[in-house]
Amino acid sequence: MPNDFNIESLVRENIRNLTPYRSARDDFEKGTLLDANENSYGSVVRNSLDLHRYPTPTHNRLRKKIAAYRDVDFENIFLGVGSDEPIDLLMRIFCEPGRDSVIITPPTYGMYRVAANINNVGVKEVLLTENFQLKPDKILESADDSTRLLFLCSPNNPTANDLKRTDLLKLVTQFPGIVVIDEAYIDFSRQESMASMVQQYPNLVVLQTFSKAFGLAGIRLGIAISNPETIGYMLRVKAPYNVNKLTADVALKAFDNPDLLKHNIEAIREERAYMSEQLEHSDAVEKVYPSNANFLLFKIKNAEKAYQKLAEKGIIVRYRGNEPLCNDCLRVTIGLPDENIRFLKALKEVLDHVQS
Ligand SMILES: *Cc1c(COP(=O)(O)O)cnc(C)c1O
């Protein structure tokens, strides 16, 4: 980020000039509401959430709760339909289709490339090292005038490790565009979130989600944390009522039970240590990569075959051998203790069979 860094200059012209849609609830939320063509007679489903009314476009109450939890201001918070929505919005706000590009660092999360492809935005790759760490100088070298976004993921999916904080900081301070750090798995790591640094670095966007540590993948709620100017653009470009009432209602309750959240995270960490140790003890497993997430990446001979054999036994894991640097690798999510034991037993049977 150069000293004269200016977000507006990176924003596409049509977005800068956009007059956003004004929804009925932008103006008044209370009164005799005859403004939005809702059904005043009510929902056909009984529910206390007034589901016949549109939700608030901004969900400020929920934004304030999340902001307090992550130690930022509510103006730093954007709520989206999963993390997929903020990823797509960042492309649409900053990248001119057919002209601009983003940098990704494979092996990493597949959605960055998919979102770029959908938006006809170029993708440059700078692979991670053999230890799945960043090459900051290579990344900086490959940035040019049309490079708008850099997607980093820490802890990284599918490699499971934290990216080094010094590398992340170097890129945030030196990359000429927006640096997106996807922290979907941050609560399983001992590393601190970068979220509070958005106050200091206007080019930093941190992504988080309710899908992993909070165990709420089903409600589809993702969070982008950034400076109020970028958040403002995201609010203007999003669909007016992107986050629905059922989702917001559940998300508000997610903070009611911090002990359960902590307990589950700790249980997953303990099972992760157990699984990792068990896999390491197996002769047929060539490598178990260190994990700061809720899954393990490990390497075995004939991984694709083993993946299929496991599936035949009803144990579904992810084959990641097509990713660069992940030859013959499988990714397994940390399950409940009895699921993990079933997995380990099935894997042993499969490996004995594949090898003999
Ligand atoms: C699981 C995951 C997410 C979460 O995606 P949602 O759309 O919020 O469910 C985001 N980033 C990475 C790297 C993930 O693995």
Using one digit for the tens of pLDDT, what is the confidence trace for 256-315? Answer: 999 999 999 999 999 999 999 999 999 889 999 999 999 999 999 999 999 999 999 999
With left for phi above 0 and alpha for psi between -120 and 50, is residue 339 left, alpha or beta? alpha
Q: What is the pLDDT of residue 85?
A: 98
Q: What is the pLDDT of residue 57?
A: 93
Question: Which CATH topology does 7-254 take?
Answer: Aspartate Aminotransferase; domain 2 (3.40.640)
Mutate to test the pocket of ligand 1, among 211, 291, 320 (most ligand atoms within 8 A of CB): 211
> How far is Cα 257 from Cα 120, in angstroms, rounded to an integer?
42
Tokens standing for residue 314: 């009803």
Distances (CA, A) of 231 to 76, 104, 173, 268, 277: 6, 22, 20, 33, 43
Pocket of ligand 1 contains residue 203 by CB under 6 Å? no
> How far is Cα 200 from Cα 249, in angstroms, rounded to an integer?
32
Residue 186 scores a pLDDT above 70: yes
Residues 202-221 have pLDDT tens digits of 999 999 999 999 999 999 99
Distances (CA, A) of 295 to 143, 182, 282, 312: 32, 16, 18, 21
Residues 329-346 have pLDDT tens digits of 999 999 999 999 999 999
Q: What value does the mean pLDDT of the chain take?
A: 95
Q: If you take atom 1 of ligand 1, which residue's CA is the nearest one?
A: 184
> How far is Cα 113 from Cα 145, in angstroms, rounded to an integer?
20
Q: What is the pLDDT of residue 353?
A: 79
- Is-cis flag, bond preceding 158, omega within 30? yes
> How far is Cα 170 from Cα 2, in angstroms, rounded to an integer?
12
> Picking from 131-135, 281-285, 316-320, which range would have the lowest pLDDT averaged per residue?
281-285
Pocket of ligand 1 contains residue 157 by CB under 6 Å? yes
Residues 146-180 have pLDDT tens digits of 999 999 999 999 999 999 999 999 999 999 999 99
Task: Tell me the CATH number of domain 259-354, given options 3.40.630.30, 3.30.300.30, 3.90.1150.10, 3.30.70.141.
Answer: 3.90.1150.10
Q: Give every CB contact of residue 138 below 8 A, 6+ residues apart in sequence.
A: 126
Domain extents for the chain?
Answer: 7-254, 259-354
Q: What is the pLDDT of residue 235?
A: 97
Residue 63 scores a pLDDT above 70: yes
Residue with the bigger pLDDT between 23 and 320: it is: 320
Q: What is the pLDDT of residue 173?
A: 97
Q: What is the pLDDT of residue 4?
A: 72
Q: If you take atom 15 of ligand 1, which residue's CA is the nearest one?
A: 157
**What sign does the dihedral 134-138-140-144 (CA atoms) show?**
negative
Q: Per the confidence metrics, is the pTM higher than 0.85?
A: yes
Residue 2 scores a pLDDT above 70: no
Q: What is the pLDDT of residue 105?
A: 98
Q: What is the pLDDT of residue 5?
A: 83
Q: What is the pLDDT of residue 352?
A: 86
Q: What is the pLDDT of residue 200?
A: 95
Q: What is the pLDDT of residue 30?
A: 86
Residue 3 scores a pLDDT above 70: no
Q: Cα(220) to centroid of ligand 1, in Å?
A: 10
Q: Give every CB contact of residue 156 below 8 A, 6+ residues apart in sequence.
A: 107, 108, 109, 128, 132, 162, 163
Please give the torsion angle defined by the CA atoms of residues 20, 23, 29 and 32, in that order, rounded to the nearest 10 degrees: 150
